[in-house]
Amino acid sequence: MVLYFRPFILLWLITGFSINIQAQKKQNRPSKETLIEAQTQHVITWRRHLHQYPELSNREFKTMEYICKQLEIIGLPYKKGMAYTGVVATLATGKPGPVIGLRADMDGLPVKERVDLPFASKETSEYLGEQVPVMHACGHDAHVAILLGVAAVLNQMKEQLTGTIVFVFQPAEEGAPPGEEGGAELMIKQGLFKEYGMEVMFGLHISSMIETGRIHYKPKGIMAAADRFNITVKGRQTHGSRPWQGIDPITVSAQIILGLQNIVSRQTDLEKAPAVISIGKIEGGVRNNIIPEEVELIGTIRTLDTAMQSEIHKRIHHTAAHIAESAGAEAVVEIVRQYPVTYNHPELTTKMLKSLEKAAGSKNVLVMNPMMGAEDFSFYAREVPGLFFFLGARHPEIDALDATLHHTPDFKIDENSFPLGMSSLIQLVLDYQSDHKP
């Protein structure tokens, strides 16, 4: 017996069979959570290696090669060498959609590690002409490892994605050595956005002071602008027993330091936004009985308002010059704008808040006060809308008052925070792509 099928019946059978295969494929896909769980031990291994072998800003050559090696294993194409030691990897889905940038910083700090870990750093390097110990005292090792984990998971989810994801492994976030360029600003200058076309940037910073499992964020200004200043106080050298025959730049410097604190406490509207002026280095003199010719003061200015930033700069010039003049000395002030305010795009932040809540749970995603620390993620957020947030990494058994501080020899983080770090960035990618279909 010969059976004859009408064309529409045949089409129905073929379509139904195809839909069934697609549904079965979807059902067999491992979940995002399963992929993250499988990747977590790799992230811990990567982080421990990077922690044991940290490198200073613009000197992250071994770190660059290690990142490239892992990207090859993951199976993503990359380019290395932007801003000296940066690495940029891409995940192109071949389907139309947005171009999303994810960033991790790579550099360590000239700090001697005091934490008792089997993978504690014993590395040294040259900094400002001196041999110094090096440590990942701010969590950049974790940032790199988490982003590598995100790249690995998203690459396994490629069929579900659209557009392109750009993974930016950035050197010199802590600032390039004097006389050099570096970091986000140099990557942008060398064509990062022109070459890769990101329309949005996401980034996280691990925090030893926020409890593991929590995320802190803030719309608009989340971290301060950072400016460096040098004040050279010029006096007249004399014998320490006869100060009246010279002009003492040390006592003048002491008065300038006190005067600078009056700028913040008595001349700045702190109801508008906080501000900080701090002296970090004082250098002058060679021995106990010589009043020197010069003293150099080096410090930092932190502001969250651009108008206030400019006003404080003017007041520093005015205060230093007039205090010095009153003693017959001279004060030469140089102020260098380093990092702008790290600004979270308000609309983007509001829209992507649901993604952070999916990853951590709504009760664990909290609005924070602005921080007076600075971040060169701020340069990306001046180019395109950006969202930068903090990932908690303080073990729940450690009291908040006992948390170790960043940039200190005792800095320590909880590796149990890494899965949430991966999950939050992955969820941001998935939801942003879903909301920006062509």
Dihedral over Cα of 412, 415, 416, 417: its sign: positive
Q: Are 182 and 387 in contact (CB under 8 A)?
A: no
> What single-letter amino acid sits at 409?
P
Would you state the structure tokens that stand for residue 329, as one six-digit string? 């000395």
From 53, 66, 339, 380, active-site residue: 339
How far is Cα 260 from Cα 258, in angstroms, rounded to an integer?
A: 5
174 in catalytic set:
no
How far is Cα 266 from Cα 256, in angstroms, rounded to an integer?
A: 15
- Integer Rg of the chain from CA: 27
Using CA atoms in the order 373, 123, 82, 127, what is the torsion angle rounded to 10 degrees?
70
Would you state the structure tokens that stand for residue 425, as one six-digit string? 């960035």
400 DSSP 8-state letter: G
Q: Are 275 and 303 in contact (CB under 8 A)?
A: yes
293 in catalytic set:
no
How far is Cα 31 from Cα 36, in angstroms, rounded to an integer?
A: 9
From 311, 357, 383, 415, active-site residue: 415
Would you state the structure tokens that stand for residue 187, as one six-digit string? 């990557």
How far is Cα 364 from Cα 7, in angstroms, rounded to an integer?
A: 56
How far is Cα 349 from Cα 408, in angstroms, rounded to an integer?
A: 31
Q: Are 136 and 50 in contact (CB under 8 A)?
A: yes
Enumerate the active-site residues: 339, 415
